[in-house]
């Protein structure tokens, strides 16, 4: 008993965490943390493990020291500094900083004796430490066996080398360097790397999606619902392919979660997760019928620039996971909680159980929505946005411009988790596709392979098994990326009157006639009908498409949208989601300003301005209510103009996006862009087309292993030290002194002036922007020569005014030259030489009736030799703009402001203002749409023909 108490004294003095140590008894097997009383009881009942003479897990740091240390020895051990070997540091970090020791013989002697009584991960720890300190060959001091394999792994991941190629390379190296400790196959090398704990588990699933062989069912041989065998039969038959919102922590959902669960919120290291999912085809050829659904857990604690099952999420909530905090050098119990899910709209239906394919598709309105089925268009339309207006708004009483009725309804009430739980309480759903329901061969005309359910709730979401899920304010996010993409398609293809994708066609006109509204748009008996006010003429299409075709944007701003435009056919197609994002928030208003009547332009500009404000990287909470009111009015004006078939569920979901932003915060943390980009990365892992899932899993693990190991690699390019797209990091030596206020010792060099020789550049990176001279921009698909700045300028009210005014004036220019002047080799200054539009008079800058600023470089300023005619500015004063040329008057261009690509405003006193964040000027729709019951003219008077369908 005396020896047992000495062991406990030593262990609690050296390796105690929150009053507990690892219990070494045969029952706990070094896997559980217990208090002193429990450990003592266990070791009295069960014998102390034989062979455990080196108390590694209880504070001892060397085999040669005695198991009982004096206070002086303990103090000396505490004073020992960690090893400087990065490979040892990596292994220690991977295993939770068990020990710092560089003696190879210790590890070799410990492994055989300790492996019988220690967990497998401790044995692997010693094996890795041995490989990390063992020279690759005799006399090699630069590389150990482990460091060599890690760097080889790094090359494999960056260059996307196949496993077979790696095996051939290793086989060749082992054959050439016989005495080197090199594995002969990549499989052997991968087993060594996997000891770092970077691995994955495989979970079998029933072929008919009935169940997972997981948890209690992991040892089952057959499905408990359809009795189908777990294993693939030995058959050759083919298998059927079946205040300011800057961060989520500022959102109401985050704060409410902290309020409901204060113990969880107490430790900021606890993780809040977002779950994102989407299906994708892993092959390049879309004609191959194969779909993979990946599940990604996103850490919402981190900033934007930086697959678990329900059972595991519960375990992270209740029990947590012991985690090593490298900053505080301590082990703590990390808990995690799921805040919300992120998916496209069909994925939202899959995760929530809500049927998104019916007339009640909107999950926010729930059952409080009256759908309208369009008999001729054969689909549902989602109108009725007047109910979201305040009760005294005049639009509620207007009949003729809407569906012909008065709107008295209130907005639908917000649905809470408890409401959903009550609605699905008695729902009984059997999951999976039963074998007898399979359909083989071709289906007959009008026949469906699968049964279409009319139930609105198709299942109870499994997330309700999480104890906190019912109290979350926001369960499933509406994806702004896909909503913006669908709305953009509806708008553009309707404006262009696309024969297949336009929402204005003969069926849409017949629906108007059936509803008895807008008689001037009704079709004639022969099927002819007049074009609507929003339909572009051939001339207008040319203006619209040429404007988009000729736009050149800065490098990295967007893809080349001109590739999507066919001027001969007057068509636009092949837009990606980000193309639609750029169009809606920047380019569409510029393209339609001279192509459509003012009523249509104003409504669409307000719609684009809404998305532009919503997608801002900083949102002001007190402005969100105003933004919501404005978008409801915009949707009501759209209902006056566009046919009912235009209003798909994606257009309707716009009205709920502001409320989601209030609850969840910025859309950048809740949309699908990073997930969709990640899909491309997963597709690149597919090397074996017969086993795409396995290829993705192996490729993912290789990438994860590299990400972890690369933190300990010096002198090579990794994702942590890779230069950004715009590398404007200053050189520490050359920029250690200020050019504006140099030290006193350098004032004499400043007084001497610059040397006669200067350097000239054609491109320069600064302030997060990439600049190029106008000459170098010629012939390129991008535009990086636009300059904007606000400078102090003297001005007078008139030629007879003697009172000079001095203030900031916005200047727009184009970069002509980049010159670096050197002051006697001590410091240098870089200057931009620009040609400046005359923004002091209306000859050089005007504002049109839609609120757009236009500048003309036909009238320049600062071209003379006077003191005020200074064409140079310091590079630190420059911001980037690009110019969109007016197709009807080539002398004028619209400047579009650009924000640095990787700039995030996380608070502070940074006074920089970037105009890209500002919305378009608010349009005065009240004047354009007069009051009263009279019909608005909705046809184009300048058309000389009818459309025939």
Domain limits, the chain:
2-153+172-181, 243-369+412-427+455-477, 478-684+908-949, 744-796+803-900
| Extended strands (E) in 749-804 | 758-761, 763-766, 769-772, 786-795
Q: Supply the pLDDT for residue 782.
A: 92
State how far the Cα of 519 lies from the Cα of 531, in Å rounded to an integer.
Answer: 13
Most confident region among 270-279, 421-430, 759-768 by mean pLDDT: 759-768
Contacts of 378 (CB under 8 A, 6+ apart): 507
Backbone torsions φ then ψ of 795, nearest 5 degrees: -145, 160
Cα angle for residues 667, 672, 677 (degrees, 5° grid): 130
The residue with tokens 């159980």 is 353
| Extended strands (E) in 485-628 | 528-529, 565-566, 571-572, 619-620
Q: Tell how far CA 354 is from the center of its chain.
A: 25
Most confident region among 413-427, 686-700, 731-745 by mean pLDDT: 413-427
Question: pLDDT tier at 579 (50, 70, 90 boundaries)?
Answer: very high
Most confident region among 58-72, 420-434, 766-780 by mean pLDDT: 766-780
Lowest mean pLDDT segment, chosen from 62-71, 461-470, 690-699, 930-939: 62-71
The pLDDT of residue 795 is above 80: no
Q: Supply the pLDDT for residue 720.
A: 63
| Extended strands (E) in 684-798 | 758-761, 763-766, 769-772, 786-795
Mean pLDDT over each residue of the chain, to the nearest integer: 79
Most confident region among 80-94, 153-167, 293-307, 466-480 by mean pLDDT: 466-480
State how far the Cα of 384 lies from the Cα of 652, in Å rounded to an integer.
Answer: 9
Closest CA to 312 of 293, 332, 329, 295: 295
The pLDDT of residue 103 is above 60: no
Q: Give the mean pLDDT of 75-97.
A: 59
| Contact (CB, 8 A) for 468 and 261 | yes
Q: Give the mean pLDDT of 325-338.
A: 80
Q: What is the CA radius of gyration of the chain?
A: 34
Q: Cβ-count burial of 740 within 10 angstroms (0-12 exposed, 13-18 middle, 19+ buried)? A: exposed
State how far the Cα of 585 lies from the Cα of 9, in Å rounded to an integer.
Answer: 67
Q: Give the mean pLDDT of 861-882.
A: 85
Q: What is the DSSP letter of 741?
A: S
Q: Which tokens belong to 329?
A: 């050098």
Q: Supply the pLDDT for residue 153.
A: 83
**Alpha helix ranges (H) inside 134-280:** 145-159, 163-176, 186-194, 252-260, 262-265
Contacts of 248 (CB under 8 A, 6+ apart): 254, 272, 300, 339, 664, 665, 666, 669, 670
State how far the Cα of 930 lies from the Cα of 424, in Å rounded to an integer.
Answer: 47
The pLDDT of residue 101 is above 50: no
Q: Supply the pLDDT for residue 177.
A: 87
For 159-210, the pLDDT digits (tens) are: 888 888 888 888 888 888 888 888 888 888 888 887 776 667 778 888 887 8
Question: pLDDT tier at 303 (50, 70, 90 boundaries)?
Answer: very low
Q: Say what percent of the chain tops pLDDT 70.
A: 77
The pLDDT of residue 64 is above 50: no
| Contact (CB, 8 A) for 352 and 340 | no
3-class DSSP assignment, residue 102:
coil
Q: What is the DSSP letter of 721?
A: T
pTM (two decimals): 0.71
Q: Tell how far CA 946 is from the center of its chain.
A: 46
Q: Give the mean pLDDT of 387-408.
A: 87
For 210-256, the pLDDT digits (tens) are: 888 888 888 888 888 888 888 876 544 443 343 677 777 777 777 77
Q: Supply the pLDDT for residue 489.
A: 95
Contacts of 124 (CB under 8 A, 6+ apart): 195
Q: Give the mean pLDDT of 391-410.
A: 86
State how far the Cα of 590 lies from the Cα of 884, in Å rounded to an integer.
Answer: 8
The pLDDT of residue 79 is above 80: no
| Contact (CB, 8 A) for 938 and 400 | no
Buried b / exposed e along 661-699 (16+ C-beta atoms within 10 A): bbbbbbbbbbbbeebbebbeebbebbbeeeebeebbbbb
Question: pLDDT tier at 283 (50, 70, 90 boundaries)?
Answer: low
For 698-720, the pLDDT digits (tens) are: 888 888 887 778 777 776 666 66
142 or 420: which carries more pLDDT confidence? 420
For 625-666, the pLDDT digits (tens) are: 999 999 999 999 999 999 999 999 999 999 999 999 999 888
For 796-825, the pLDDT digits (tens) are: 556 566 665 656 788 999 999 999 998 877
Q: Which helix (H) or strand (E) covers residue 501, if one does?
A: none
The pLDDT of residue 928 is above 70: no
The pLDDT of residue 728 is above 60: yes
The pLDDT of residue 584 is above 80: yes
């Amino acid at each position: 008993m005396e020896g047992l108490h000495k062991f406990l004294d030593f262990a609690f003095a050296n390796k105690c965490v929150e009053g507990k140590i690892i219990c070494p008894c045969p029952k706990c097997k070094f896997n559980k943390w217990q208090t002193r009383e429990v450990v003592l009881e266990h070791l009295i009942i069960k014998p102390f493990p034989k062979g455990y003479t080196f108390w590694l897990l209880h504070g001892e740091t060397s085999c040669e020291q005695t198991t009982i240390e004096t206070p002086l020895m303990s103090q000396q051990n505490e004073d020992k500094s960690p090893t400087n070997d990065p490979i040892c540091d990596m292994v220690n970090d991977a295993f939770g900083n068990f020990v710092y020791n560089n003696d190879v013989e210790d590890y070799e002697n410990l492994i055989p004796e300790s492996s019988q009584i220690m967990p497998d991960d401790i044995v692997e720890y010693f094996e890795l430490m041995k490989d990390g300190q063992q020279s690759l060959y005799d006399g090699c001091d630069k590389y150990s066996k482990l460091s060599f394999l890690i760097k080889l792994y790094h090359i494999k991941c960056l260059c996307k080398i196949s496993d077979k190629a790696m095996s051939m390379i290793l086989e060749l190296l082992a054959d050439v360097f016989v005495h080197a400790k090199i594995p002969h196959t990549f499989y052997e090398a991968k087993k060594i790397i996997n000891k770092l704990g970077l691995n994955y588990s495989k979970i079998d699933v029933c072929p008919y999606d009935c169940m997972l062989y997981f948890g209690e069912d992991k040892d089952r041989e057959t499905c408990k619902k359809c009795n189908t065998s777990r294993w693939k039969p030995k058959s050759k038959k083919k298998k059927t392919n079946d205040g300011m919102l800057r961060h989520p922590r500022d959102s109401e959902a985050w704060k409410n979660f902290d309020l409901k669960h204060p113990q969880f919120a107490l430790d900021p290291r606890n993780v809040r997760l977002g779950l994102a999912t989407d299906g994708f085809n892993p092959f390049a050829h879309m004609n191959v019928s194969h779909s993979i659904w990946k599940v990604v857990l996103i850490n919402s604690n981190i900033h934007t620039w930086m697959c678990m099952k329900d059972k595991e999420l519960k375990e992270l909530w209740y029990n947590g996971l012991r985690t090593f905090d490298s900053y505080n050098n301590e082990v703590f119990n990390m808990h995690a909680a799921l805040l919300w899910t992120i998916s496209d709209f069909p994925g939202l239906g899959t995760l929530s159980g809500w049927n998104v394919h019916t007339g009640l598709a909107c999950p926010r309105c729930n059952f409080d929505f009256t759908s309208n089925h369009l008999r001729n268009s054969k689909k549902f339309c989602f109108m009725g946005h007047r109910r979201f207006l305040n009760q005294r708004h005049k639009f509620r009483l207007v009949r003729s411009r809407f569906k012909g009725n008065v709107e008295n309804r209130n907005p639908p009430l917000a649905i809470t988790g408890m409401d959903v739980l009550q609605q699905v309480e008695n729902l009984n759903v059997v999951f999976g596709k039963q074998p007898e329901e399979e359909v083989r061969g071709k289906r007959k005309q009008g026949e469906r392979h699968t049964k279409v359910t009319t139930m609105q709730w198709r299942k109870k979401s499994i997330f309700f098994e999480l104890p906190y899920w019912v109290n979350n304010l926001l369960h499933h996010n509406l994806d702004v990326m896909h909503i913006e993409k669908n709305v953009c398609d509806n708008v553009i293809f309707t404006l262009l009157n696309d024969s297949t994708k336009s929402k204005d066609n003969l069926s849409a006109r017949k629906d108007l006639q059936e509803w008895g509204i807008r008689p001037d748009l009704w079709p004639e008996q022969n099927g002819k009908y007049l074009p609507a006010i929003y339909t572009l003429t051939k001339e207008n299409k040319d203006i619209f498409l040429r404007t988009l075709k000729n736009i050149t944007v800065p490098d990295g701003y967007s893809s080349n949208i001109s590739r999507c435009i066919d001027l001969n056919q007057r068509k636009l197609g092949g837009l990606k989601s980000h193309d639609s994002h750029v169009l809606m928030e920047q380019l569409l208003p510029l393209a339609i300003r001279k192509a459509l009547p003012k009523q249509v332009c104003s409504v669409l500009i307000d719609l684009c301005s809404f998305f532009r404000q919503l997608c801002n990287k900083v949102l002001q909470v007190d402005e969100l209510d105003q933004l919501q009111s404005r978008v409801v009015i915009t949707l009501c004006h759209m209902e006056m103009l566009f046919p009912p078939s235009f209003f798909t569920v994606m257009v309707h979901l716009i009205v709920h996006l502001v409320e989601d932003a209030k609850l969840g915060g910025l859309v950048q943390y809740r949309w699908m862009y990073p997930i969709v980009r990640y899909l491309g990365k997963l597709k690149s892992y597919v090397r074996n087309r017969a086993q795409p899932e396995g290829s993705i899993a192996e490729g993912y693990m290789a990438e994860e292993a590299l990400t972890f190991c690369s933190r300990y690699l010096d002198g090579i390019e990794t994702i942590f030290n890779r230069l950004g797209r715009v590398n404007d990091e200053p050189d520490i030596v050359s920029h250690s002194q200020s050019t504006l206020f140099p030290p006193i010792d350098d004032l004499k060099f400043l007084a001497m002036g610059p040397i006669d020789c200067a350097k000239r550049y054609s491109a320069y990176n600064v302030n997060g922007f990439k600049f190029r001279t106008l000459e170098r921009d010629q012939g390129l698909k991008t535009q990086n020569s636009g300059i904007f700045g606000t400078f102090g300028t003297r001005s007078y009210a008139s030629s007879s005014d003697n009172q000079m005014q001095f203030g900031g004036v916005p200047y727009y220019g184009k970069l002509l030259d980049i010159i670096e002047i050197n002051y006697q080799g001590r410091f240098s200054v870089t200057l931009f030489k620009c040609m400046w539009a005359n923004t002091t008079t209306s000859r050089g800058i005007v504002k049109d009736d839609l609120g757009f600023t236009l500048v003309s470089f036909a009238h320049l300023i600062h071209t003379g030799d006077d003191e005020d005619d200074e064409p140079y500015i310091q590079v630190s004063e420059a911001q980037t703009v690009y110019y969109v040329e007016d197709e009807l008057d080539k002398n004028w261009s619209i400047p579009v402001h650009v924000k640095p690509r990787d700039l995030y405003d996380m608070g502070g006193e940074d006074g920089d203002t970037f105009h890209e964040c500002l919305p378009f000027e608010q349009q005065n729709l009240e004047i354009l749409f007069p009051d009263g019951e009279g019909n608005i003219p909705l046809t184009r008077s300048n058309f000389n023909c009818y459309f025939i369908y």
